[in-house]
Structures are given as C-alpha cells and as structure tokens.
Chains A and B, each alone.
Chain A
Amino acid sequence: MSARETMFTRIRARLPAGTAAQRAAAVDERLARHARNLVPARGAGDEAHRIGVFTAMMEAVGGTVETLDDVNDVPHAVAAYLRRGNLPAHVRRGVDPLLARLPWHRGGAIEVAEGRAEESDRASVTRAFAGVAESGTIIQISGPENPTTLNFLPEAHIVLLEASQLFGSYEEVWTKLRAAMGEGNMPRTVNMISGPSRTADIEQTIVRPAHGPKNMHVIIVRGS
C-alpha cells in the first residue's frame, strides 16, 4: 500500500463507521456554501469610517497613508514620496492597466520601469486588489499586472488603493475574489500585507525592516 492509502485507511478506521457518504455530503455542502462566521464590527461603516480605521491600523504598524481625490495626482504623490525618503526617482510597476494609464509625466523626472522586481529596484508601485479596514491590510494578487516580487524586494512599496475597493472585512474581499476568479479558484498568490516588514527575534526588540520592504506607503484614491 502507498503511504497515501495507509494514511486514509487509518484515518477512516478512527472515524465513525458507516458515515462516509453522509460526511462527504456535509463537507461538500459546507465548501459550496462557504458561509461567513462572526465578522467583527470594527471595519463596518461608510467610506470615511473605513478609510479612518484603515489609516489608523496601518500607521500603528509603521506604514504611511495619504488620501487623494483624483487618481491623476498619483504620479505627483509618488514622486514627492520618493523625494521625502531620499530615494532615486525610479519605480518599478507591473502592466496593470490603471497604473499604465496614469500621467506619469506629471511626476516630473520620475522613471517608470515595467516588470517583476529586480534586485536593484529601490521602490515599486502596485495597485491593490482590495484593502481591509479591520486590520489595515492590503490585498495583492499575483499576475503580470502586479508581480508578487514587487511586494517584497524593493525597500519602498507604494500601493494604490481605490477607496471603492477598501472593504470592512476579509470576508468581503473573498466575495470579490470569487466573483473575479470563479468558485474554488484562486490566483497563484494572494498577499495580505499589514505594514512594512519587521522582526522581534532578538530580545523581543521590534526592528524594521527584516527581509521585506522598509517602508510601505498606501495612497487611497477616493471617488474611484
């Protein structure tokens, strides 16, 4: 017998006999229904509330947030952010259509490269799939639009989050994800990111960054 068969045989021997069909039906029903459990109230509320909670949570863990009313102001905000952080005027982004459409020339001399993160990249710009107010979390999905390495390799990660995609809870994001991908399907990677990289492994002292970005800057665009 293969290890697989032995394992399943031994597991079944420990579960109530004669219930296999019933149990399979119960499991499939639960998986198909994917019902929500208790969702904490913290993130629930109108857009202003969600932005407020998200901002407070993100700032509490060392991230920064700014809010704009016009998406066309994003390049300028990116350029200003790089200047403030003494970073070169160079960012890497994926082929996300919204990011591609932005009037990058308004960012002045900022250079915008496309593709996955390279070791030498110091700053990246990605567009969030969604945000979650509850814990100040950005949700990124993999793909050429926003390659996963952009979330981790550069020292500054700049995220464009549309206010309309800022939800109260994780559960609302899963609903959106199922609508986009179909039931049961997932992107290769879903990254839930709450602030810049940190460690407390030496004497419980919090140090930023550990291995990922040192700075995370979220630009929330209202009315989008």
Chain B
Amino acid sequence: MDMSGAAFPDNVSRALADGKLQYAMTETGPRFIQKRAKAREALPEFDQLRDQARDIKDHVLANLDVYLERYEARVRASGGQVHWAETPDQARAAILGICRKVKARLVTKGKSMISEEIDLNQHLAENGVTPVETDLGEYIIQLRNERPSHIIAPAVHLTRDQVEADFRKAHTHLDPNRDLTEIPSLVEEARAVLRQKYLAADVGVTGANFLIAETGTSIIVTNEGNGDLTQNLPRVHIVLASIEKIVPTLEDASTILRVLARSATGQDFSNYTTLSTGPRRAGDLDGPDEYHVVILDNGRVNVLGTEFQDMLRCIRCGACLNHCPVYNAIGGHAYGWVYPGPIGAVVTPALIGIENAPHLPNASTFCGRCEEVCPMRIPIPRMLRHWREKEFERHLQPAAMRWGLGLWAWVARRPALYRRATALAARILANQGHGAGRLASVPFASGWTQNRDLPAPQGKTFHQLWKERRR
C-alpha cells in the first residue's frame, strides 16, 4: 500500500479486493462492538463518566501551558528528565542521544503510536541501535515491516496462517517441524523469543496513555505485561508522549481509565495499568537507573483554540474504528498514515497537512456512530465537515465533490465500498438495536426519529436482498 496519505482511493480499491484482509476484518468490528456494549451496560455510571472525562481534558487543554510546567517540575523532583520536541526530528534525536550516551545496542519497545508517528524504529536501526517491539501485535507487524492497522490491535488485519508464516521465516533457530497450527503455540513462541530480548535490552521505550501533573507520573496500559518488562528490566526507561496526554490528578486519571478499557476492548479494566514516577530509588532491587520523558508536539499546538481542538481529547481507545463501517470495510492501512479510522481521518490532516491527506475527510458515511461511542465525546463528523470546508476553500476537492453531492457522496460513488460499508453499517445498527428491532435515536436523523422509532435494519441491505432474490 502507498503510505503517502494521498493514495487513499487506490488503497481502498486494493483493500476491497484483498481476500485475506476481508476475511480478517469480517468479525472484528462486530466482536468489539458487542464487548463494549456489554461493558457499558454493566456500569450504570458510564455515560456520566464520559461527560466528566471530556470536561477534564477540556480543562487541561484550556490551561495546557501551566499543566505542562507543573508536570515537568514533578518529573524533575522525582529524579526524571524531560525532553521537549517540537518536531519528529527533535524527538528522534533526543531518543537516539540517550541511547548513544548509554551505548545502547538493543532497545525493547512497548506499544506507542507516537513512535510510529516519528518513525522511531527506522531511525534507530539506521543508527546502529536495534529496536524490538514487544507487544505481540506490534512484534508481528515489525517482522512484516508494516504499520499497525488498528490503534489497539495492530495486527487485526492478519490471519493466523500469515503469522505462522512470519514466525517460521523469522525464528530460524527453532525446529522447522514444530507445530504452530494453534494460536496459543504462536503466542508461546513469541513469549519465549521476547523474554530473551527484555533481559538483554539496554533501553526500554514505552508510550504513555496519561501524564499526571500532580505527581509527574506516566501511565501505560497493557494486557500482555510487555510494557512492564520493557520498562523494568533495562537500565534506562524512555517514555514517549505528546503534549495532550496530561491529566491533572490521580483522581482524574482514574475517571478516564474507567472509560478507556471499556470503550477499547470491553474490559472493565486492562490487566496492567502501570504508574511510573522517576528512576530507581534508594534500596530498590529493580527498575531503571534513568527515567526520561520525551514530549512531542508535531502540529498539535496548531489545533489548540481552533474548531479542531476537541481531537486533542482523544485517548486512542479505538472505539470509533470498531464502530465505523468504512474502517471495517477497508482496514487501517488504506488510510495511508499512522492513525486510521474516523479519528485518523481527523488527526492526519492536522498533523501532516490537508494537502497530504486530501481524501481522508471524505472516508465516511456520516452515520455518526463514531461520535456516539467516543468515550471523550469527540464530535468527529463535525470535524470531518470542517476539513471538507477547508479542502473546498483550497480547491483540493475534485469538481464533483464541490458541487454539493451529499455528504456521503465520496463513498457512494464507489459501488464496492458502498456495498461493503452499508452492509456493515446495517450489522452495526442491528447490534445496537439489541435485537429489539427498533432504534430510539439515530445520529443525524433526530428530526425524523424524535417522534417515531426507526426500524433497525435486519442485517441485510437492499443490494444483498436483491442479489438473493435473483438467484
């Protein structure tokens, strides 16, 4: 796939014709959707927590300079170091600098989207430092030299047999006749291979889900425990974060954590939520000698105070991807850059420029599910429309788009995509209707649904029914 960000239309056609991808994606969305719905139902306070989570981040963004200063002061007080990076270049240089100072050769890495954003692995490798991803999904796509196709499930576009083939190719030290037909045997093999890496690594790099201003703490959230081995065993821990990860207090972090896992995987809480503050203390028997935080801007400051500011509330839970018919039809790689799905369509133009992502704001059926499920209540459809207006102002849209075809025209004019996306939208809506067969409200149709219930689609589109009838 072309990863330039401008090749979206071609990527879409290719994705729709990719049988393995379509197979891998078939069950993804619906499964995630059911899990989230269950977790939400089990916590009556869920929607109120979302309101509070939104307010917390809005408050931080309105006072971002002060919060960053307070955070930095606490990190210093606990013996850590903070590095500021306006650009990917500066972030890469800061990390490579730390690696060089401690003569690092092997770097283990926890999952970090910002690492993708700055192409850290490539930079380290080019400079004689070997990066090894330790999150299973990230490890798999590193072997394949691909980008993650989902924010929290990086290898969701792959099937088991593809992973088996990758492992056989990479792990040549193991018995070629070993049995890898079951998924647990693949996981066990990765566990054994990566164990040795954790133990041998000089530096561990992790991302951060949150930075707490009150205490100078970084938080990572994983299910595998890979992030913890990554940051506890090597001599140096580097946290890679961006400016909007700040939350004020432990209490505020707790509130957002309550909506994060539920929205992401439908878990009540992820298996490992880890709060790190500074390096090894006197008397400690383990933990890193050095603790560094690299804080990246990369264009985020530019959206502060604009109609796009709300995107900085995003906690990268992936719920908007899971509920998006377009994402589920084409997978993450078609979006062309680091962040896929609805939030990617909003964030990518902001970070790399709308001229480099001209089609992304159109990759939507405007069904509104993304906003409805977003734990941070980010108005994604509204921001997509703002991007279209910008494209329009700058004449980046083809004529047909400018002359007022419907909002969903970009999708509708691609029959294969339209069919796939509307079929998925029907399934998603059917899921939402809880089998009751009726929906009380549908985004963007409130004028219509105010006084009557919309019958929930019964899982088939007109196209599908027509085809069946004709047989």
Contact = CB atoms under 8 A, between A and B. Distances in A.
A117 B287 CA distance: 12
B240 interface: no
Nearest to B137: A201
Interface stretch (B42-50, B121-129, B375-383, B457-465): B42-50
Contacts of A168: none
B273 A192 contact: yes
Contact of A14 (B158, B248, B301): B301
Interface string A147-176: 111011100000000000000011100100
Contact of A174 (B45, B250, B286): B250
Given A174-B251, A194-B269, A148 B48 contact: no
A132 to B, nearest CB: 9
Contact of B66 (A27, A143, A174, A200): A27
B228 interface: yes
A31 B249 contact: yes
A41 B45 contact: yes
Nearest to B270: A194
Interface band, chain A:
35 or more
Most chain B CB atoms below 10 A, which of A28, A119, A210, A212: A210
B149 to A, nearest CB: 12
Contacts of B281: 142-143, 187-188
A200 B284 contact: no
Contact of B276 (A35, A38, A119, A188): A188
A194 B267 CA distance: 10
Given A27-B248, A186-B78, A202-B163, A209 B191 contact: yes
A11 B216 CA distance: 20
B91 to A, nearest CB: 9
Contacts of A135: 268-269
Interface string B172-210: 000000000001101100010011001100000000000
Nearest to B227: A211
A15 B65 contact: yes
B439 interface: no
B232 interface: yes
B86 to A, nearest CB: 5
Contacts of B49: 37-38, 40
Contacts of B69: 8
B229 A211 contact: yes
Contact of B63 (A26, A40, A41, A117): A26
Interface in B138-158: 140, 153-156, 158
Contact of A27 (B67, B84, B135, B274): B67
A174 to B, nearest CB: 4
B224 A197 contact: yes
Nearest to B186: A202
A119 B65 contact: no
Given A27-B66, A192-B269, A198 B224 contact: yes
A187 B49 CA distance: 27
Contact of A147 (B135, B223, B279, B286): B286
A224 interface: no
A199 B187 contact: yes
Nearest to B69: A8
Interface string B37-69: 000000111001100100010010011111111
Given A8-B65, A27-B248, A147-B285, A210 B223 contact: yes
A66 interface: no
Interface in A78-123: 94, 115-117, 119
Contacts of A184: 74, 214-215
Interface stretch (B96-104, B252-260, B313-321, B330-338): B252-260
Given A116-B286, A149-B286, A199 B251 contact: no
Interface in A1-55: 2-4, 6-8, 10-12, 14-15, 20, 23-24, 26-28, 30-31, 34-38, 40-42
B273 A36 contact: no
Given A186-B78, A201-B155, A202-B187, A30 B223 contact: no
A174 B66 CA distance: 23
What are the 5 closest A-B residue pairs judged by CB atoms, nearest first? A212-B225, A210-B224, A201-B137, A135-B269, A116-B285
25 contacts: A7-B301, A14-B301, A31-B213, A31-B249, A37-B49, A40-B258, A135-B268, A136-B268, A137-B273, A142-B287, A152-B229, A152-B232, A171-B251, A174-B251, A186-B275, A188-B277, A188-B284, A189-B274, A190-B275, A192-B273, A197-B224, A201-B154, A202-B187, A210-B191, A210-B225
Given A15-B65, A189-B276, 18 more contacts: A7-B301, A11-B68, A14-B305, A23-B63, A30-B248, A31-B248, A34-B248, A37-B251, A38-B255, A40-B43, A142-B286, A184-B74, A188-B280, A188-B284, A197-B271, A199-B187, A200-B153, A211-B134
